[in-house]
Structure formats: structure tokens, C-alpha cells
Structure 1
Amino acid sequence: MNIENKPQIIEHINYCLDNTIYDLKWVHGKSNIIAVGEMLDKKGYIHIYNLDRGKFTCISKTNLDKGVKTIAPFFSSTGTYTIACGSFDGNILLYDINNMSEEYYKIRKHTKLINKIDCKNYKNNNIIVSASRDGSVKIFDIRTKQELGVYKYVYPEKNSIFDEKIGCKKGIVGELNKLNDLNVSTQPIISFDWCKDKLGLSVMASLDQTIKIYIITKLNLY
């Protein structure tokens, strides 16, 4: 690799928190970041931060009764920029980013913590999907608030197949070419998001209770 074209990993922000963060996402079209998690008293929170010329400040704070594990922000078909939150008590909470005082709708279909929530796409979206520790995956149309489908994952008896022709387990692996690496934290990174509006701008959350913003250069060359 030409060393002149090697991507550089540059720390831009390292912001310390006094609570546990579980997920974060960029706000589309803005230099804002949504962060969610759990406070020391086991209450949940939704914080919105603004990145402006090297300054990182919290511009919105919303407290919840239960911790929040996962989020998916998107524009609904009505144009509302919605934050879908998956909570520790199994509820899906929908917030209008311009009115964070309370959720505009709550979906109660899971019985345990929601591990992951996602949307079909971030523009003109009406479909969200959730995966819970109750063992189910559910799909919702937020126009009707009704469940579209329910799936439960059943683990197979075997996770590999022995190929008699080659005399070993069958599998195909790809290749990874390392461009660069950097140790950014002594604790696990539990959430990561690329900024869709600026190539190379990323944000991550770590179990050391920090939000870190990094710039990765020269990605256009790869």
C-alpha cells in the first residue's frame, strides 16, 4: 500500500458521560447525534448532541421510566423526523424530534427487552422491525400501529455441514485487507454509526462512558 494513500484515523471529540450509553445515531442532514441508554437510577434517557466547529454540546434531554437499548431515526411518510426507541421493558416508543416532551405513540407488543430496532429506510419510511429477548422479531406499519408479521428464530441442530467430497466442514470465507487500525478505548465499543452526509465522519459509544467522534481520511480512494 502506498503510505501516502493510507487512511488516517483522527480523534476529533472524546466526550465523557456520567451514565451508560447503549446506542447512538447521526441525525440525517444535520451535525446532531442522538444517544440513548440508562442512568445510574435505572431510568432511561434520550440525549441529542450538536457538533459545531469542534464544540460538542447537549441540546436536548429527555428522561424515561426505563432504559433505552436501541434507536432508529427516520423520516416518516408524513415528513416527521421520528426517533423509534426500543426500551428495556419491551415497548417501542416513537418520538417527534421537534417535540421530545413525550412519545407520540407507544407500541406494546414485546414482553422483554428490545435488543435491536431498525427501519426499512430513513426516508419516507413507515416500516420498523424489532428484535427482542422474548425470542421474537416483529414488523410494524406505523401508519396503522399494527403488527405485520411475527418471526421466531429457531436454532438449527447443527451450525455446520461436513462435506464428504473434501473431507472437512464446508464453509466459504472472504478476505479482509487492513487499511489502518487504532486502539480507541480500553473498554468495548458497543455502538458505531457513519455520518451519511460526510464521508469518513463517524461516531461511536464505549462502555467507558464516552462518546467519541473520529474522522477517517482518504476513504474515497477505496
Structure 2
Amino acid sequence: MSSALEKPQIIAHIQKSLNYTVFDCKWIPCSAKFVCMGNFPRGTGVLQVYEVSHGELVLVKEIEKSKPFKCGTFGATSLQQRYLSTGDFDGNLHMWNLEAPEMPVYSVKAHKEIINSIDGVGGLGVGEGAPELVTGSRDGMVKVWDPRQKDTPVANMQPADGDTRRDCWTVAFGHAYSSQERCVCAGYDNGDIKLFDLRTMSLRWEKNIRNGVCCVEFDRKDINMNKLVATSLEGKFHVFDMRTQHPTKGFASVSEKAYKSTVWQVRHLPQNRDVFMTTGGAGNLHLWKYEYPAQRSKKDSENMDMGVAGTVTLLQNVTVSTQPIGSLDWSPDKQGLCVCTAFDQTVRVLIATKLNRV
């Protein structure tokens, strides 16, 4: 067991108060900049670009639009373009060139209600195949978009029973290791997790974790499915081993009661897929490491392959706010650097140290 001196530390490097409610933040790839998304008290949407410079945050650009922004991703664009795709409170999906943000470079009325979550793949050199975006909305729908095609989604997933009153809170791409393979995972307010196979256009797996699913994320998007973390309202998160799917039992999992409050987000460390951070409703951050079992699969009584779950170890935790931490993003370029936003209208840049030793 590592000593306290060797354990990773989470250091609050810079913090800045904002004059609006911030819902999401994302690092701009290949830069020391990040973008915050939210809404002003007057009801309009705001994008702010900040640069980390000499231990301070410098506001580089502020963009105001008519509708509040809920979520964003750079994942469906090239490293050269670095366009930001956003979902807003009116159900609009926009793609912005932050250098010339007057008009979106791509725009579609994607949903009837707020877009809660967005993810991208096929850009930034991550994942094989076409650049695509997935959106999940309060209208219960999950839709996949190719920004090169005008108005129609390339895939449209809705509950089989037609009950679109279900609220989709989170979506994530995975399994994009070849030009043919790709999956979308979605989490809903009633505790459902659904895995959609985009190659066969079918529901591959579903599970109910009994509490609203706040966030889902694969440990890597561009590999054969390995692990999936799902966080929930009641302080728990679940890690599913996605390598072996049993015909009736599905995927093996381990769950951890991490908080007394909602686990809002999970984000895997880009440089080490077995390390991830979760964010809590009481303003806390927990850094975890997943340990694989000696054997990841075994035979059941009928000689069918079934997965074996590993264990989760808490590496470090810290409280940085009195309010829920609603978003977090690791820098893809500098290990241990991350940005998070909380509902105290503050953005914080944090540094996690000694991650190469875990």
C-alpha cells in the first residue's frame, strides 16, 4: 500500500467567480484554454473562453446567444478546426467556430425539449469512422447526428414502449475501434441504462440501477468496450466490465457508495483509463483506481462465459465547494490538469499530482 506521501494530491490551483450559472466546461484540445457554458440571469446563453496563464485565468472571449447552453463537446471535429458542439435549453444542436462565433457552422433543431447531454466521436483523432454527435434530451429521445448531413439524425433511439416521457440525462459513445463498430450508452431518470449498437441498430443491453443515472462514460471511446462507469442520484456509482456479456446476467459490475449526495459526473483520466474522478453534490471530488481481478471471465454452471468484476480503490478526495460540482473535464494534453464548475458560480482549475505512480 502506498504511503500518504506517495498518494496523489488534488490541489486547487486557480478559482474564479462567474456572473452566471455554468452547466458545462471543456478543455480546448491542444491549448491551455477551456470554455465554460451556461446562462445569464437574464435568460440568455453564454460561452466564455479562458486561458490559463501564469497562475491566473484570463478571459479571452465571451459569446452571448439567445438560448442558455446546457452541454458541449469538441469530440466530432478535427484537431485543426476544434469546433465546439453545444446542446441548449430549446433543443437546438449547434456547432461553433469559436474564432468566428457569429453564426453556427452547423445547426439543427434536434429535440423538442432541453438537450441534457452531448458527446462526440470520430474527431480529434479519437475513434474510427465518421464524425458523429449523440444527444440525449428531456423529451426521452437519444439521437445520433453526422454534422456533414443537414437535418436528419443518422440514428434515433426511443423507448420501445413509445413512452417518451422518460428523461434522458446522459449519453456517451464507445466501442468505436473500427469503421464499422460503434455504441451509444444512455442513462435515464428512472435508473435505466441502455446500450445501443449503432452497427446493427439494436438494443444490445439494458440494466436498471434503481436511481436516476446522472452520468455514463466508457473508460475509452476508441477501443473494444472495456469498462463503463455509471453514476447515480443516491450517492452510488457502478463500474461494469464490458468485455464479457452473459446471455442472461449481462455485464459483471462493482458498485461503490461514494457519497451521501448525488454523484454528478465521472471522467476518466485520458492518460490512464483505470483512474477516474467523480464529482459530488456536496462540492467534493473523489479520485478512484479500478483494479482488475486475476481473471476477467469464468464459466457458469452451464459452461457459458460470464464476466468477473474488479475492485475500486479511493486514491484521494477533496471538498472544493459548498455546492454540487456539475461538470469536470481533464486536460487531454497535460496529465493531472482538470477544470470543474460548481453551482456556486465558480470555475476551478485543479491539479492532481503523482498520477504516474498509481
Q: Secondary structure at the match of 1:220?
A: helix
Structure showing greater relative contact order (alpha-carbon pairs closer than 8 Å, 6 or more residues apart): 1
Q: Which residue of 1 aligns with 2:44?
A: 43
In the alignment, the residues of structure 1 paired with residue 145 and residue 66 of structure 2 have an alpha-carbon distance, to the nearest angstrom, of 23
In the alignment, the residues of structure 1 paired with residue 88 and residue 145 of structure 2 have an alpha-carbon distance, to the nearest angstrom, of 16
Q: Which amino acid aligns with 1:151?
A: M
Change (3 A) 1:96 1:137: same
Query: For each residue in 1:62-108, what CA deviation from the matched residue of structure 2 results, as whole angstroms up to 9, or x when unmatched?
Result: 11111000001146359422110101000001111221122122111
Q: Which residue of 2 aligns with 1:85?
A: 86
1:218 aligns with 2:354: yes
Greater mean alpha carbon deviation, residues 172-181 or residues 136-145: 172-181
Q: Which amino acid aligns with 1:149?
A: A
Q: Which residue of 2 aligns with 1:149?
A: 155
1:31 aligns with 2:32: yes
Gapped regions of structure 1 (runs ≥ 5): 161-170
Q: Which amino acid aligns with 1:152?
A: Q
In the alignment, the residues of structure 1 paired with residue 67 and residue 332 of structure 2 have an alpha-carbon distance, to the nearest angstrom, of 30
In the alignment, the residues of structure 2 paired with residue 134 and residue 116 of structure 1 have an alpha-carbon distance, to the nearest angstrom, of 12
Q: Which residue of 2 aligns with 1:97?
A: 98
Q: How many aligned residue pairs are there?
A: 213
Q: Which amino acid aligns with 2:29?
A: H
TM-score (ref. length: structure 2): 0.56
1:134 aligns with 2:139: yes
The equivalences for 1:109-188 within 5 A come to: 109-123=110-124, 126-145=131-150, 146-153=152-159, 159=208, 172-173=253-254, 174-188=310-324
In the alignment, the residues of structure 2 paired with residue 27 and residue 77 of structure 1 have an alpha-carbon distance, to the nearest angstrom, of 12
Q: Which amino acid aligns with 2:30?
A: G
Q: Secondary structure at the match of 1:181?
A: strand
Identity fraction in percent: 32
Change (3 A) 1:10 1:79: closer
In the alignment, the residues of structure 1 paired with residue 101 and residue 3 of structure 2 have an alpha-carbon distance, to the nearest angstrom, of 48
Change (3 A) 1:78 1:184: closer
RMSD of aligned alpha carbons: 2.3
Q: Secondary structure at the match of 2:153?
A: strand
TM-score (ref. length: structure 1): 0.89
Q: Which amino acid aligns with 2:140?
A: G
